[in-house]
Structure 1
């Protein structure tokens, strides 16, 4: 291994040694603790330290780094107090996740480190969003994101590279190619000779670097950083290295050929760098021994602090309170001026006025810029706000959602338009595993609204007509809004944008141009979690949202003798249970009307809640009316049969007569 000092001073060379030595000695201590049963799991980075340390040392502390679970050197080089790391690994409150997540699954804004989730891929899209924010701020910052050779097979890797290339984002995509994805060797993971070659297809500058040579890592990153500061663009860096321990300690390394292991042991990044420094007269054996004793003492002292920290005492209230970031709703009442507009116009007006109100609000989606989106909701927005804030995206929902999270981390608000709600399935992972869990896991908001044009009645078939709110009402950490009227759509959208938590905002396509209402011209807000009582009666409670609200109104107009409370939920998560219970206790009968398929829909949970909380008030079983438990079909006759509109009146009359 050849080390080139270039113009580095002896002090800098020695500083890099101290930085690479510390994570190695911590790891050696962790291996002892694992054998003693004092730590439950450990993902070793022994043999790969030069990458973590070299990259982090070359960047400024105010630049974001997104490491993985073998990048202890990132955390130590950023000088995170060791007792906090030990507390994190032991599941203590002094860590970063209050015992809710393990190892390196955390982030910290104080140190500009954004940790991973186990699904790996979304990490890369987050880096895109962070870098986009920096590019918009023109602050010449760089974002570095780590991944392994295994994760380069994930779609998120390709989506993130494509977005970074198209938008020319200052992201360093760092691949630690350590030979194995758990036990699967690289020749069973990809066919190209080098992973760096994948950058060619995206028009991205790419390099292969010796990941065990800390000076090669540090000098190359330093040079690239300067270039990227002056001319923002992404780079793809493949670091050739090796994992000298198992995927995690329980895995072992029996799957590694003995000769290969011996070969890489001779390339140990710590031992080789030490030998170089000793030969150069920069480091003596005596000083090296002194350094090691100092670091070991620091480790033991901080480990003792973590060990003496009390175990976490579970609290129902604290667990539930941390699912969402606290949001202080600001009620803004409109002026007297109104316009009779369509549902679609109300959504567009809310977006426009929110863009005017929040200069850090970015809208992203397919065809939303000059074209104005599939439904023309953002038509004219580019002229008003520019293409920096109204951004066409490639067809890559997963990385776009993750980029929205990155924008949120770096001080922006993000709105993502799914061209159709059906397409959210390709962005499902970052919504339910990243956005939904971030505040609960490590206290980081996800200031992202995902707009969801949804619903049937337009004969658009199985891939453009679903109403899939139940995919998300089940997931703690998400808010789900589903208005039925233009007035509510505008006010609830404004509030959703103000809310720092992730919101799925459903917009029924059939209502876009068919429903008109007098809507205030000014900006205003409506609180989430408050249902609307559309009609009042005594005989039955009808609970609905979206298009079924209008279908229920039509049924009641056709049956004026029915005295019913009609509740428009408007928000599904949080759910206004008190409005439901108050009405059911009055009427004694309840029917829930949803467009989604019956089994597993939110109507099932509402029915269960009513049975649990209002059983003694009920005069009949709770009734659910929903679409058939099949995919939604294309032909009108089949779609009409699928949708519940033709079955509701009969069910309602039967319930009243019960």
Structure 2
């Protein structure tokens, strides 16, 4: 193995050696502790240390790295405490994720490391967002994301590379090609001769290197960084290596030919670099033994201290407290503010303008939202006023764009992603429910991201442009879900979503855009997320609803003055305003839960269950639900009308009234 030292000093070479050796010796200790039952799982990176260590050494300490679970060398080279790392591996509350994650599924802002999720691909898109933030600040910094050869088959790999190339982002994508994805060999994973060939297809530079050669990795990443910054382009590096142990220790390596293991054992990165330093007379056998013994003693000390440290007690309060980052207090409109009559769509557009003015760090992203103004013209004029850096057209890469939004949040930016239609959010589902929602609970990093989702039926758009899919997300801890029904709430809740440091899904009903108007305060104001609105009081029946259901309930009340209806507009679907729900139950003793979404699995079922559990003594009749049919939303007008819950409202109210 040939080593090119270039301008690296003798002292630096010895430092590189210690950085390379340290994770190897930690691993050897961890494998022993695994057999002793003191840790329960381990993903070994033995034989691959040169990639993690070399790449980390090549970057500045404040450049973000997004590693995988075989990159111990990233964490140790960034000088993370071994004691706390060991707590992490034990699942102790003293670990970096307070026992909420295992292995390396965590991050640390202090060390500029972003924690992975098991789905692997999504972190590549987060690196895009971090690189975008550097670019917007005009900083000479890159981000670096690891993936494996198996991860290159995921859709997010292709989306992330495409977005980085189209936007010209200074990001390095580093593939650790270690021969197997668990037990699947590379010939069953891809058909191109080399994964680096994919760089050409995305219009970026590609490099293929020996991942077991520490200095080759170091120089390659240095060169990639220089290219990324000078050309403002991403770089793809394929580092060839081999996984000498199982995907994780329990899986073993029986599926690997013995000759292949032996061949790669001869390429051991630690042994070869050690030999190189001995060739330079920087190491001899005695010095090597002394360095190894010193490191082993340090490891033994840190592990011992970690093993005897008492763990704090687990409390429900602490767990619930960390789901969300602290919210910003509500800002009501100034007393002297002017109020204008505005359409629903104009209230949303006004909120976007005011948010862009208040938050210089707010970036809007979405398909066709710049010059074209979006599919519904809500963002029209924003690009001309605030510039294309902050109002960005995106490729058709919903998942990668949501991931990039999270990357922006890590860098202190706010972002909004507009789904052209709420139905298309399925393409970004993983990023939302596994990254945005969980990241604050996992390692204290908030996701300051707003997703705008034009939703709902009634406009003849058919099965793929008409869904009410809000219930999918109300089940996920860590997300906030709002669904306004009036122009004033549309503006106030959207501004509250931008003020909130947590991920907020903002559902806006397409049929309301130009069909309703109402008074809207001109100045900035926010409406509390999690606070319902009493639309009107009544004595006979309480209708608990949101979105289009509010308009249906109000219309029905006007048409049937003989019924005294209490109408509650939830406005926020996660978290729910249970106090307001209980008050609505108390008012009449008869409850109808109304929503446009399909019946089975809809939010109405959760609310009905809560009422039955907590308000049973207040009820004079069973809780009823009126919802969309359990079918896709049909296109034809009569079929769509039949689908909507509005057509069955009268029957449900009559049934409740007669109970």
* TM-score, normalised with respect to structure 2: 0.99
Contact 1:144 1:171 in 2 (8 A): yes
Secondary structure (helix, strand or coil) at the match of 1:109 reads: coil
1:339 aligned onto 2:340: yes
Instruction: Output one character per residue of 1:199-255: Cα deviation in whole Å (capped at 9) or x when no partner.
Output: 111001001000000011111212222232333210000000000010000111111
1:17 aligned onto 2:17: yes
The residue aligned with 1:631 is 632
Secondary structure (helix, strand or coil) at the match of 2:327 reads: coil
Contact 2:94 2:311 in 1 (8 A): no
For 1:330 and 1:560, locate their aligned partners in 2 and report how far apart those are by CA, in whole Å. Answer: 36
Secondary structure (helix, strand or coil) at the match of 2:380 reads: coil
Contact 1:408 1:447 in 2 (8 A): yes
The residue aligned with 1:533 is 534
The residue aligned with 1:303 is 303
For 2:369 and 2:605, locate their aligned partners in 1 and report how far apart those are by CA, in whole Å. Answer: 36
The residue aligned with 2:209 is 209
For 2:469 and 2:21, locate their aligned partners in 1 and report how far apart those are by CA, in whole Å. Answer: 51
Instruction: Output one character per residue of 1:423-478: Cα deviation in whole Å (capped at 9) or x when no partner.
Output: 00000001000000001111110000100000000110000000100100000110
Contact 1:398 1:430 in 2 (8 A): yes
The residue aligned with 1:616 is 617
For 1:480 and 1:134, locate their aligned partners in 2 and report how far apart those are by CA, in whole Å. Answer: 30
Contact 2:448 2:503 in 1 (8 A): yes
For 1:135 and 1:426, locate their aligned partners in 2 and report how far apart those are by CA, in whole Å. Answer: 26
Give the C-alpha shift of residue 73 in structure 1.
0.3
The residue aligned with 2:367 is 366
For 1:253 and 1:355, locate their aligned partners in 2 and report how far apart those are by CA, in whole Å. Answer: 54
Give the C-alpha shift of residue 312 in structure 1.
4.7
For 1:470 and 1:81, locate their aligned partners in 2 and report how far apart those are by CA, in whole Å. Answer: 42
For 1:309 and 1:420, locate their aligned partners in 2 and report how far apart those are by CA, in whole Å. Answer: 52
For 2:409 and 2:337, locate their aligned partners in 1 and report how far apart those are by CA, in whole Å. Answer: 34
Paired residues for 1:401-480 under 5 Å:
401-480=402-481
For 1:151 and 1:584, locate their aligned partners in 2 and report how far apart those are by CA, in whole Å. Answer: 51
For 1:620 and 1:221, locate their aligned partners in 2 and report how far apart those are by CA, in whole Å. Answer: 69
For 1:409 and 1:8, locate their aligned partners in 2 and report how far apart those are by CA, in whole Å. Answer: 33
Contact 2:125 2:403 in 1 (8 A): yes
For 1:194 and 1:478, locate their aligned partners in 2 and report how far apart those are by CA, in whole Å. Answer: 40
For 1:12 and 1:231, locate their aligned partners in 2 and report how far apart those are by CA, in whole Å. Answer: 29
Instruction: Output one character per residue of 1:130-180: Cα deviation in whole Å (capped at 9) or x when no partner.
Output: 000010001110101000000000000000000000011010000000000
The residue aligned with 1:6 is 6
Secondary structure (helix, strand or coil) at the match of 2:507 reads: strand
The residue aligned with 2:152 is 152
1:514 aligned onto 2:545: no
* Structure 1 stretches of 4+ moved >3 Å: none
Contact 2:566 2:587 in 1 (8 A): no
1:656 aligned onto 2:657: yes
The residue aligned with 1:220 is 220
Secondary structure (helix, strand or coil) at the match of 1:111 reads: coil
Give the C-alpha shift of residue 367 in structure 1.
0.3
* TM-score, normalised with respect to structure 1: 0.99
Instruction: Output one character per residue of 1:234-285: Cα deviation in whole Å (capped at 9) or x when no partner.
Output: 0000000000010000111111111111100000000011011101111121
The residue aligned with 2:594 is 593
Give the C-alpha shift of residue 11 in structure 1.
1.0
1:161 aligned onto 2:182: no
Structure 1 regions of 5+ residues with no counterpart? none
1:314 aligned onto 2:319: no
Contact 1:92 1:309 in 2 (8 A): no
Secondary structure (helix, strand or coil) at the match of 1:484 reads: coil
Paired residues for 1:263-278 under 5 Å:
263-278=263-278
For 1:556 and 1:224, locate their aligned partners in 2 and report how far apart those are by CA, in whole Å. Answer: 66
Contact 1:99 1:312 in 2 (8 A): no
For 1:435 and 1:245, locate their aligned partners in 2 and report how far apart those are by CA, in whole Å. Answer: 32
Contact 2:149 2:177 in 1 (8 A): yes
Paired residues for 1:317-328 under 5 Å:
317-328=317-328
For 1:311 and 1:60, locate their aligned partners in 2 and report how far apart those are by CA, in whole Å. Answer: 34
The residue aligned with 1:123 is 123
Give the C-alpha shift of residue 306 in structure 1.
1.1
For 2:632 and 2:188, locate their aligned partners in 1 and report how far apart those are by CA, in whole Å. Answer: 37
Instruction: Output one character per residue of 1:28-78: Cα deviation in whole Å (capped at 9) or x when no partner.
Output: 001101111111000000000000000000100010000000000000100
For 1:46 and 1:173, locate their aligned partners in 2 and report how far apart those are by CA, in whole Å. Answer: 21
1:42 aligned onto 2:42: yes
Number of corresponding residues: 658
Contact 1:607 1:622 in 2 (8 A): yes
For 1:227 and 1:205, locate their aligned partners in 2 and report how far apart those are by CA, in whole Å. Answer: 9
The residue aligned with 2:351 is 350
Give the C-alpha shift of residue 540 in structure 1.
1.2
Contact 1:534 1:567 in 2 (8 A): yes
The residue aligned with 1:494 is 495
Instruction: Output one character per residue of 1:567-603: Cα deviation in whole Å (capped at 9) or x when no partner.
Output: 0110011111111101211211100000000011000
Structure 2 regions of 5+ residues with no counterpart? none
